[in-house]
Each structure stands twice: as C-alpha cells, then as structure tokens.
Structure 1
Amino acid sequence: MEHYRKDGVKIDYDPYAKGMAEKYGLPGNTDNEGFDPYADSVGAGIYGGCVKRDNEGNIVIGEQYQNHNNRPGPVYDGRGYSLMSKAIHAGPEKVTEILKDYPELKEEISTGGARPLHMCGMSSNNQLSTQSLIDAKADLYAQDTYGYTALHRMASNNLDVGGEALVRAGHDPNMKMEGADSTPIEIARRSRGIQFLMKMQELGHYD
C-alpha cells in the first residue's frame, strides 16, 4: 500500500507500521518538536531548531532529537526554531534585512545540520527566500546531517520555485553528493514530485 502526504507527495514508509506509534505517538498526539509520521513533518527538535553550544561557543554534537537520524548531529537546546528559520518563515524581506546586519547568518547551523538554504526547502512559503540567500552567497552545496543539500530538500518537498533558483545558480540536480543516498532528481522521482521534475525538465536537466 502506498502512502501520500496531503500535498500529494509520496512517502516511502508506512506511518502505521508496528512501533511507529510507540516511538512518535498516536495520530494527533505527536511531539510538535519532533517527527509526525502521519503528516511526514518535522519540528524544531529535528530540523531548523536552536542548538546547544559549549562554553567556548562551539556547537555540541551528539544524539539527535528522538534519534530520528541516527548519525550524530547538532543537539537541540529546546528553544524552538532558530533566528534564520523564523526569518525564512516570515519571508524574503525579513531574511534580507537580517543578513544586511549579520551576513554570517547565511550559514547559521541549526538542528539536523540544516542551514538557511535547507530551511528554504521545507515548505512552499519558505522557498520564496531562496533567492535572497543565493544573492548573499550562501553555500549551495552545504550538506545537512542526512547528506542532503538544499536542492535535495526542494526535491523531497516538490518545490519548483526554490529548485529553479538553485539550479540557475549552478546546482546540478543530477549530482551525487558523498553521504547522500540519492540525487535530487532521484528523490523527486521516488516521491513523485511532479512540479519539481517538470521544472527540471524545463531547465534541461530531466528527460
């Protein structure tokens, strides 16, 4: 049996499989800072959240929230979404405003190893800030703790606007990154991200 999100994206697991409810909670009663398998969504504990730092200001690396990704990564500090994650949700004007005063935040690291460009790939609203970060010279090929770049995130969430911006800026959607299980094109094909694939076809990267 195949499973789909409300937005039509195919998910490659069974949200009702044995052990899922024990780990993440029953439908309607999941941890809003963690993973909701029924909606295929994650909260600040897993992706885009504030991270712990040691006395010298270094990010603390350890077991990630809910052990959702068993690779070690930045440890969540419990304070919700990071500054740039909130700015991206607010829109490109807010992103540009913050980067004007704090340009270093274009590479802010949050839970899941996500950087601001990764967060642009998490929703249809967030993708609208992609160009602002490209203009600020954010690293197109930065990888999160899953080995994914921002374009992988665009592909997995069927986001054509952000995907186009990244490809036009130079990111090859067929490039295999070390540490990633798939290329962005392969992810989009697997999840049936039709809008993303149509845009890649338009740009000459998908037959």
Structure 2
Amino acid sequence: MALKIVFMGAPDFARTILQALIDSNHDVVCVYSQPPRPAGRGKQERPTPVHLLAEAQGILVRTPVSLKDSAEQAAFAALKADVAVVAAYGLILPKPILDAPRKGCVNVHASLLPRWRGAAPIQRAIMEGDTESGVTIMGMEEGLDTGPMLLMSGVDIGPETTAGELHDALADLGARLLLDALDRLEVGLLKPRPQPLAGVTYAAKID
C-alpha cells in the first residue's frame, strides 16, 4: 500500500532522499523547503535543490519561514498525510505539526545517534576523525534529534574520506534505509528504541 507523504528538506542530501521517494510506490503530496535565498555573484534568489526537484516533478511546494503560525499548521494538517519525512529541513517542527500525520514524522539523520545530533553531523564526523558514521531513521519529537531510533546502518570512514564523499554515501544509504523503514511502518513492523543516554554529542552548524 502506498503511503501519502509530506516531504520536508532543503539541500542536496535531502534531494537524494526525495528522488528515492518519487521513484517509489509512495505518493509525495507536498514538499516543504526553505525559502529561496540570494546566491551567486548576482545575489539572485535561488530555490533549494529540493524545491527545484519537486517543482520539476509537478509536486506542490511550500516555503514558510516558520511553522509556528496556526494558519500554517492548519494547512499542513489539511494535507492528511500518512507520514511526514524530514531530511535536513532546517526548521523546528512544533507539536501540532509533529502530531498531524497519521503515522507521525520520521527523520533521516546522517549520523549514528546519539552521536552528532544537530545540523552538521557529516562535517563534524570528518573534523573529529571519526572512523565510522551512518544513518539513523528516527521518530520525531520536540527535542533536537532526541526521538526513538527506528532503523540504523553504518559506514566506515577511511583516512582519506572527504566530507563530500561521506555526504554522498550517507545520502544514498539514507534513501535505501528510509524506503525500508516505510515498508515496515506500513505493516507495523518498526520497533522504536530509545536513544542511549551515553555518548551524546552535538554537531553545531558550520557557517
């Protein structure tokens, strides 16, 4: 059975995830992304990679600056999604958003949680000399990347691995792992596990 999905994301990492959903049997009914921002020499406003892909596929795109507004929350709820998939979106999801989809919100996070919660897990893993990274599919709650773990898979980081190479490997892994998670979600085979209390680190945004 196809799930009715709202996708929320912005950069290239999220674009890879969205492409996998578009190519699957699931129905992406709406995409949320960051608003277009000035970029390049001419400082012309440029939509995010996720926005451009969704637009090219004829999918409804919304780019609110915040989801705290009650009208935005009502518009989101009116989509009647089965699940919201979030990947590098960049906005905090308030409780009314988290509670709106029938099966909740799931996040594709580019680390082996609880290590590297936050905005820049790929860069921080490389900067700190980690020898392993991975992707965690987690259920979302109001805390910053604190939700229960649904699926997890790791990759090795070699001494010569660049942030770009790790980014691409984790985006591909995240796409595959997400589709597996959605298949299990449909039939009730996902078993949420709380994140360990030990080993929590934070990947602060890199300017």
TM-score, structure 1 as length reference = 0.32
Q: Which has a greater percent of strand?
A: 2
Scaled by the length of structure 2, the TM-score of the pair is 0.32
- Higher share of residues assigned helix: 1
